[in-house]
Structure 1
Amino acid sequence: MKSENATPTSEFVLRLSATRRGARLARLLAVQQLHEWGVPDPDAAELVVAELACNAATHGRVPGRDFEVRMERGEDHVRIEVSDTRGEREPEPVAVPDEGGYGLLLVSALATAWGVKARCVGKTVWATVPIRRSGRTGCFRRAVR
């Protein structure tokens, strides 16, 4: 009987249909991967994946074409890339959001950097999200004696 050991990797790639269901599945599977990597507080990365996947399914959608989520874990960050096939529609954060438009402001607030790069077909929106160490920052109690 042959024993096979899975080799741990720091890269995660997923291709999904450009639909609301695909965007939701991207978030759920990304969170599962973040937990498998041992990311102590994956909330920021989860929100960035959710927003970029939603944008790809909504604004970057081309019927019959998928979008791709790629995450790479570094020592102190997670790089998130979401690619779609609509290269002519680049995301632009708005100065004053109306009913929508908060997503890229959220990405900008959670990421140390983000941007857009062209591909042969379409574009990739990327963000670098720092990995927060265990415990919440800014919340502590002073010991009362």
Structure 2
Amino acid sequence: MRLIGAAERGMQLTVERALKRRAFGKLIAQHGSFLSDIAKCRIELEKTRLLVLEAADQLDHLGNKKARGTIAMAKVAAPNMALKVLDMAMQVHGAAGLSGDTVLAHLWATSRTLRIADGPDEVHLGTIAKLELRRAKL
């Protein structure tokens, strides 16, 4: 959930910046590529939010063992989504996005650290694949 919050903050800062900053004679928010990128980031964020909600619901109702596949999916999806959204936010902010002038560099570094600390993606992907193969055998 922290990663979803970090991504939301990145989205907020991105939109605020895009509505104030001009590039090539128009607001960043008026550039077609920005519009496409912000929409894609919102979609990824909402998909991840639903996956995390599903994992939490399964934990509550089914327990750790039965929820482990969905938990593994969330552990892969959330940090990757957050890094993507925060990267775009940093791009929109230019050099300020990499500095201590905004919270973006800190959020990105924290998200990257969480991706490692929560276990390598390959381990989670292996869990997901094994469960999927086991399901197919039934």
Query: Normalising by the residue count of structure 2, what TM-score does the alignment of the two structures yield?
Result: 0.32
Q: Which has the higher helix share?
A: 2
Q: Which has the higher strand share?
A: 1
Query: Normalising by the residue count of structure 1, what TM-score does the alignment of the two structures yield?
Result: 0.31
